[in-house]
């Protein structure tokens, strides 16, 4: 388990990689597609969880990027 400081450093490093951020956006778009067209309840639940996780990562990356700009 990472400490809060270690976790902050991980996101500080990750926010500098545009390719990773673009990949996350692509992953979120895929999950949104599933949510929009899939009638299967289990698939929708899975897509909701995945989309929530990706969105949480994006939010953490945005916060890390914002903190870098303030320095």
CA atoms within 13 A on the CB side of 22: 3
Q: What is the mean pLDDT of residues 16-43?
A: 95
Asked if residues 61 and 28 have their Cβ atoms less than 8 Å apart, the reply is no
pTM for the whole structure: 0.85
Q: What pLDDT, in 10s, does the model give residues 30-54?
A: 999 999 999 999 999 999 999 999 9
- Two tokens at 29? 């778009």
| pLDDT computed for residue 69 by the predictor | 86
Q: Where are the domains of the chain?
A: 41-71
Q: What is the mean pLDDT of residues 25-32?
A: 97
């Amino acid at each position: 388990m990472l400490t809060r400081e270690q976790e902050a450093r991980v996101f500080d490093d990750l926010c500098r990689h545009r390719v990773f951020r673009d990949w996350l956006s692509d992953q979120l778009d895929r999950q949104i597609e599933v949510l929009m067209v899939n009638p299967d309840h289990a698939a929708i639940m899975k897509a909701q969880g995945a989309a929530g996780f990706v969105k949480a990562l994006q939010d953490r990356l945005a916060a890390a990027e914002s903190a870098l700009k303030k320095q």
